[in-house]
Amino acid sequence: MPTTDPLDALVNLRDLGGQPAGDGVVTRDGVVFRSDAPHTGDRVPEGATPWPPKVVVDLRDSVETRDQEHPLASVATVHHVPLLEEARDADIDVDEAAHELTVLYQSILQGAPKKLVEVFRIVLEADGPVLIHCAAGKDRTGVVSAMLQGAVGVRRDAIVADYVRTDRNMFRVLQRLNVAPELPPGVDEEMVHELLSTPTEAIESVLSAFEAHEGGARGWLRTHGATKEELDRWQAKFIG
């Protein structure tokens, strides 16, 4: 019998539905998905309903995409919003001793807030499910996911837990990116996971930056141009 290649579908995909947002309410399924980068020829991912997405937000730089057509362009409207192009040279306020991922995430928040608001509006206006991705679905996607969840009041611990879920998928993500080495004798996949584990302090720094504003991520978005009407519509769309 033919076997299914475990790498011929998205390996870091999840629905942001079902997240606790206080008072017994949860985020809606099928509104926003996050993942690693799709590949041409990928099979339909298991458990993703509905699929395919109506809208895709690709957070990668042009040097990563090589200006090639997106693999989902024939079935979805694709928006390219390169988060790092503006963030790289940003003059940011961050502790010199901070973890390098904390520095990266703060460079996105402080250097590319207009891009984050752009992503928020694309998701808000989408007529159907949205897929947000970068290369691995970990860093840029993690910041955007935290923003979208925080804007409807998803609990801090739940946002962190969602971010950490990527750890278990990172070895296959690297294989999909063609940068995972063959494991030498005596080194198993679990050991690789430990080496690739992402410290929670990075996403915690994002959440703390949001919480410095009245209303949390909602207040952060207001500060950077989102309107109360837009945020209320996002609340209704993602929570109901």
> pLDDT by residue (tens digit) across 42-75?
999 998 899 999 999 999 999 999 889 999 999 9
pLDDT of 11 strictly over 60: yes
Name every residue whose Cβ is closer than 8 Å to that of residue 68 and which is 6 or more positions away in sequence. Answer: none
What is the distance between the terminal CA atoms of the chain, rounded to a whole angstrom?
Answer: 45
> pLDDT by residue (tens digit) across 121-156?
999 999 999 999 999 999 999 999 999 999 999 999
Which of the 8 DSSP states describes residue 70?
P
Name every residue whose Cβ is closer than 8 Å to that of residue 201 and which is 6 or more positions away in sequence. Answer: 98, 99, 102
Quote the pLDDT of residue 2: 46
Quote the pLDDT of residue 13: 98
> Directed axis angle between helix 156-164 and helix 140-150, to 10°?
160
* CB hemisphere CA count around 58 (13 angstroms): 23
Quote the pLDDT of residue 185: 64
Top CATH class, 14-238: alpha beta
> pLDDT by residue (tens digit) across 204-233?
999 999 999 999 999 999 999 999 999 999
Quote the pLDDT of residue 129: 98
Amino acid at the residue 176: R
> pLDDT by residue (tens digit) across 79-110?
999 999 888 888 888 887 888 888 899 999 99
DSSP letters spanning 86-141 = HHTT------TTS-HHHHHHHHHHHH-HHHHHHHHHHHHH-SS-EEEE-SSSSSHH
Quote the pLDDT of residue 1: 42
Which of the 8 DSSP states describes residue 12?
S
pLDDT of 192 strictly over 60: no
> pLDDT by residue (tens digit) across 167-189?
889 889 999 988 665 655 665 66
Q: pLDDT-based confidence at 199, cuts 50/70/90? A: confident
pTM above 0.85, yes or no: yes
User: How do strand 14-15 and strand 77-80 relate by DSSP bridges?
Assistant: unpaired
